[in-house]
Amino acid sequence: MYRKAAPNLSSILNRKIEIYQPVQGDENELGQRDIAEKLIDTVYAAIVPQTGTMLHGRAADTVLTRVTHKFIIRYRSDLTTDMYIRYGGQRYDIIYLLDPYANHERLEIFTEGIIQ
């Protein structure tokens, strides 16, 4: 039987996202530092909503219960869970990073949508 080939990675990366990292801003008159954001990179990604499938059957207070979206990008090793993604005016905090099959081809970024 004929089996359809898996889609090429470049064919699913159809949304432009921005990756940010919080940094310490300038010091104010009280000697405190504001939190600023630093643009790390703008990359193409696939966006997969996860709310319905990830929450079903999960125990309370696990990492995956907070996941609302998954972003798939080309692999890169410089991302951490203190960073966040902006897409369409919405902020998505990075909760978990996964390199499926550990082949350094793609990176799956599990995020939580933040209401602002």
Quote the pTM value. 0.78
Report the candidate in 75, 65, 84, 62 with the shortest Cα–Cα distance to residue 107.
Answer: 75
Q: Give the Cα separation of 74 and 10 in Å (integer).
A: 9
Give pLDDT tens digits for 28-73: 788 788 888 999 999 999 999 986 544 555 555 555 567 889 999 9
Give pLDDT tens digits for 76-97: 999 999 999 999 999 999 999 9
> What pLDDT is recorded for position 60?
53
Domains of the chain in sequence order: 9-99 (2.40.10)
> What pLDDT is recorded for position 14?
92
Give me the numbers of helices (H) and strands (E) for the chain, helices first please.
2, 6
